[in-house]
Amino acid sequence: MARMVESGEKWAEIERAASEKRRELVLQGPNIDKKIQTGGLNPSIYSLTLLNYLEISQCPSLLEIHEEIQNLTHLQSLILCRNKLSTIPKSVGSLKSLKVLDVSVNELKALPDELSQLSELNTLNVSCNKITGLPNGLSKCTKLSTINISKNEISRLPEDLYSADLELLSTVIASENAIEELSGDISNLPALKNLDLSNNKLSDIPFDLADCSKLKEINFKGNKLKDKRLEKMVNGCQTKSILDYLRAGGRGKGKGKQQNGSEKEEGGKEKDKKKRTDRRQKNKKEEDEVEEVNRMVVKVLHVSDNPTAFTVKVAPQVKDVRPYIVCCIVKGMNLKPGNALKRFLAAQIKLHDEICGKRTTATIATHDFELLHWPLLYDARPPKTLKIVPLGRKEMNAVDLMRQLQLEAEEQRKQKKRQNVSGLHKYLQLLDGKENYPCVVDAQDHVISFPPITNSEKTKMRKSTSTLFVEVTSSTSLQICKDVMDSLIVKMAELNKLTFDHKEESLSDGESDLAGNEKAKEPAANEMTSSELVVQQVRIVDMDGNLKVVYPSKTDLASDVPNLTVVR
């Protein structure tokens, strides 16, 4: 049992939380760490029984949490990431209201079985530890939606993680472990959408995975599979192709054995399927509540201490059309030399075609930060009232723009004598049937972005742009927004380094300057002297100012990119 340290020094943060009857308390960083190092975590924190959100993070001196944590019975979110915890007290199982538990980036080797008593648990993040196995009884956490066990030492997934009782489990991230086998019982998870088992020790992928009807994203990169054709698909992250291949039973090797086994269990699976359907209908209300938690709570893992941090407000209307958005500011991008701007735009198009699923799962928008008028609003408006100056066009409302794009698409089809079209015309169907269209609006009520269709000419990227405002929106999930943003920023860092390494490249290669004769306007003193990029956090809040999500949080941008600095 952890030893309660009696500290004579009162903590102003805890005293204030008690006197003001606060529901939230965040303790993090060097100042808090110094206090813990001197006298331990002040035990009076365990008397703050009104708390529903507690975060103690970035404190290397925090080695333990006392059993008295059980006193905080109203806790819904407990964030204990980036410390040096070696154990989690069993009494955590007494926190019956707990929905979010994040103990990532510590030194944990095991988790208490008492976690199975957390019947309201929605999200469990234990990534970046030294854990060798998961606790027993996770199937009792029937509201579990997201589990992240990446970067541990786990060799197998427990049987009850495949339980049909986990009807809401939609995201399983288990990358960078030592997992040798994925059971065909994975098909028991009816809500599974995102599965990441990259960089493990898998040799096979079960055909049953294709029975997960809601599966949208899978990642098996870094596994040495016996089926080399499948391994090639896996390394290309071709989710649909992989599932089609598995659904067809592969190319025949081992097919008979696995299919025969499936046939024997077919009757039982049909019965289980009916039971799962009945339970899903019964728990529809719970599923809606869990999705709301995902949207509003789960990803709020870190709040910048900077009082001048930029914010984007979100109108309630976007919930029905395109509810998810993350944003950030990127400083230090050098787009002046040669084809630097063209390479950046090409990389963005490639991400749209690949990880964004041709904008069906997410859409990227990049703007010249200096041309923005803050604060910004993410809104949804009727097509007739949504006016924008689309890239390369005059101002028009969304109805006229969509009609014009439709006519251009028909003309393209006639000229090329085929059904496929290019450019913005590829994305028109994504807004079919929507009463309102999503848009990002600046302080002057100018629409700067109309996802997933186009950006505004008013904030267009130019060769002189060095500070970018980046937004990623999605109708699918918040995690997809974050994954896309991670990929984009890592790519930007790579491109910036490439540009810096080849700065002798000619600035006049025949490419027209999108902003006119900007080279002549810019003094040589303003030329970039480093490829370093700085990413600044942006908060997303509702109309009342309540925090919904920040990017980058502590769990975002985990890639080790040498020329990237993240300000959180």
Three-state secondary structure string covering 291-315: HHHHHHHHCCCCCCCCCCCEEEEEC
Q: Which two tokens stand for residue 225?
A: 């599979």
Main-chain dihedrals φ then ψ at residue 545, nearest 5 degrees: 90, 5
SS3 state at 28: strand
Residue 297 located in a structural domain? no
**What are residue 524's phi and psi, to 5 degrees?**
-60, -30
Tell me whether residue 250 is in a domain.
Answer: yes
Average pLDDT value over all residues in the chain: 81
Q: How large is the average pLDDT for residues 421-448?
A: 79
Based on the fold, state whether residues 209 and 346 are members of the same structural domain: no
Of 144, 106, 148, which is closest to residue 483 (Cα–Cα)? 148
In the structure, what pLDDT confidence band is assigned to residue 510 with cuts at 50, 70 and 90?
very low
Does 511 reside within a domain? Answer: yes
Total of domains in the chain: 3
| pLDDT for 411 | 83
Residue 445 falls within a domain, yes or no? yes
In angstroms, the CA 52 to CA 75 distance is: 4
Q: How many CA atoms lie within 13 A of 406 on its CB side?
A: 11
Which string of b and e fits 152-171 if b means at least 16 CB within 10 Å? bebebbeebbbbbbbbbbbb
pLDDT range class, residue 90, cuts 50, 70, 90: very high
3-state secondary structure (DSSP) of residue 222: coil
Tell whether 137 and 41 lie within a shared domain: no
Q: Which pLDDT value is given to residue 471?
A: 97
Rounded percentage of the chain residues whose pLDDT exceeds 90: 46
Average pLDDT rounded to a whole number, residues 170-184: 92
- Residue 302's pLDDT band (cuts 50, 70, 90): very low
Does residue 212 sit in the same domain as residue 357?
no
Q: Rounded distance, CA 184 to CA 211, Å?
A: 10
Could you tell me which of 255, 239, 169 has the C-alpha nearest to residue 206? 255
Q: What gap in Å lies between CA 358 and CA 360, rounded to an integer?
A: 5
**pLDDT (tens digit per residue) in 313-360:** 999 999 989 999 999 999 999 999 989 999 999 999 999 888 887 787
Given this model, what pLDDT does residue 185 score?
92
How far is C-alpha 358 from the geometric centre of its chain's CA atoms? 18
Of 192-201, 268-277, 487-496, give the lowest mean pLDDT range: 268-277
Q: Which of 179-183, 256-260, 278-282 shows the lowest per-residue confidence on average (mean pLDDT)?
A: 256-260
Tally of residues, the chain: 568
Span of 87-101, 135-149, 436-450, 502-516 with lowest mean pLDDT: 502-516
187/211 Cα distance (integer angstroms): 6
Give residue 303's pLDDT band: very low, low, confident or very high (50, 70, 90). very low
| Direct distance between the N- and C-terminal alpha carbons of the chain, in angstroms, rounded to an integer | 34
What is the Cα–Cα distance from 467 to 332, expressed in whole angstroms? 6
pLDDT of residue 307: 42
Check whether 61 has a pLDDT greater than 60: yes
Looking at the structure, do residues 212 and 76 belong to the same domain, yes or no? Answer: no
**CATH number for position 332:** 3.50.40.10
Q: Calculate what percentage of the chain has a pLDDT beyond 70.
A: 80
Is 417 a member of any domain?
no
- For residue 547, pLDDT over 90 is answered with no
Based on the domain organization, do 386 and 515 belong to the same domain?
yes
Question: What pLDDT, on a 0 to 100 scale, did the predictor assign at position 395?
Answer: 94
- Peptide bond just before 452 cis, omega within 30 deg: yes
Element (H, E) at 486: helix 478-501
Calpha distance 63→519 (Å, rounded) = 55
- CB of 138 closer than 8 Å to CB of 158: yes
Same structural domain, 223 and 345: no
Pair 330, 468: CB distance under 8 Å: yes
Give the range among 82-86, 258-262, 355-359, 465-469 with minimum mean pLDDT: 258-262
CA distance 483 to 556: 8
Grade residue 521 by pLDDT with cuts at 50, 70 and 90: very low
Question: Which of 231-245, 403-417, 471-485 tops mean pLDDT?
Answer: 471-485
Inside any domain, residue 555: yes
User: pLDDT at residue 274 above 60?
Assistant: no
In a domain, residue 421? The reply is no
pLDDT of residue 531: 81
Q: Which strand (E) or helix (H) includes residue 102? A: strand 100-102
pLDDT at residue 465 greater than cutoff 90: yes
Asked if 178 and 150 sit in the same domain, the reply is yes
248 plus 393 within the same structural domain: no
The answer to whether position 299 is within a domain reads: no
Mean pLDDT, to the nearest integer, of 455-460? 95
pLDDT of residue 297: 35
pLDDT on residue 264: 42
- Asked which of 242, 260, 289 is the last residue of a domain, the reply is 289
Q: Which of 289, 323, 349 is the last residue of a domain?
A: 289
Do 437 and 509 fall into the same domain?
Answer: yes
Q: How far is CA 275 from the centre of its chain?
A: 32
Based on the fold, state whether residues 279 and 312 are members of the same structural domain: no
Domain match, 42 and 88 both: yes
Full domain range(s) for residue 550: 306-401+430-567
Of residues 316 and 410, more confidence is placed in 316
Q: Is 151:130 a contact under the CB 8 Å cutoff?
A: no
For residues 98 and 115, membership in a common domain is answered with no
Is the per-residue pLDDT at 148 higher than 80? yes
Average pLDDT, integer, range 229-239: 80
